[in-house]
Amino acid sequence: MPRIDRRPRRPVVLVTGASSGLGLAVLRRLYNQSVHVVATARVASLPRFAAMGIRPGPTLALLPLDVTDADQRRDVLAQVEQRFGGVDVLINNAGVAYRSVVEQVTEAERLTQMDVNFLAPMALARLVLPHMRAQRWGRIINVSSVGGMMAMPTMAVYSASKFALEGASEALWYEVRPWNVHVTLVQPGFISSESFKNTRFTAASRCATADRRDPYHEHYANMGPFIAKIMRLARATPDTVARRIVRTLDARRPPLRVPATLDAYLFAALRRLLPRGLYHRALYGALPGVRRWGPHETEATPAVAPLANPTADRPR
């Protein structure tokens, strides 16, 4: 490990998904600091910056980026390299969440979830690493979730994407330390915001939510309001989590994992302290309305997600 901190005098920080929520809070935190900020968002979301009085300048670039588009990823990195020399800090914040049980997700929906939350962050990390290794300094901050340390019903593919992000980031932490490049997973739990309203439903889970005869109806009918209530009661906000991210950016030796909310600390402690069987039984018993889940007299035929392409779920 190099013993000299080679941090650039004014690091270049790339933030994905910066037009709303946590990404916007991070942008606001970095706005007046001694850094160059490259804030990205989808083309349709770029007008939000001007509406909030955020305009590009000598230390701020606002660039269009759909993180799932390989050409756009390369184009953004080329623009940053031409203007600032390269990305010194990558904050992978852009994400999406599907609410659905496993049985009601199509292959296309699974791939969309994984593409945004796992494949895209890793692709961006690959693009920025040559510059970081060359200068012997860099930071990659991947915004994970409590859903990346524990799973909950109706959020299976979301947790799968975050578990994947956690595993790859942990491996990357080992791989790039010799070049003084540090990888950190920031793990927010429930945040007091309206972000839960942006959770997507699959075609099948939307039908199941509305159809009382669907075998999974009670799962959605109980979990949705439960999550919404907890998020409204949570004390953590996008700004408090953004503060943790910025502190991590400034740390000389940032840790691999940073729980960013009180419940993230709590669930991490429960996983460490409780025997695994007891842990799962306790959480199952605490699920809202769980005694009403499962078979009932009016149950319809199980609603398996329809396949647009009959070969879509075959192994590749």
Q: Say if 312 falls within a structural domain.
A: no
C-beta separation of 258 from 186 below 8 A: yes
Q: Please name the residues in contact with 69: beta carbons below 8 A apart, sequence gap of 6 or more.
A: none
Active-site residue set: 158
Domain housing 211: 12-292
- Whether pLDDT at 153 is above 60: yes
- Contacts for 316 with CB less than 8 Å, ≥ 6 apart: none
Q: How confident is the model at residue 5 (pLDDT cuts 50, 70, 90)?
A: low
In a domain? residue 222: yes
Domain count for the chain = 1
Question: What's the rounded Cα separation, in Å, for the pair 109 and 103?
Answer: 12
CATH number at residue 32: 3.40.50.720
Tens-place pLDDT, residues 206-215: 999 999 999 9
> Considering the domain boundaries, does residue 6 fall inside one?
no
**Segment 101-117, tens digit of pLDDT:** 999 999 999 999 999 99
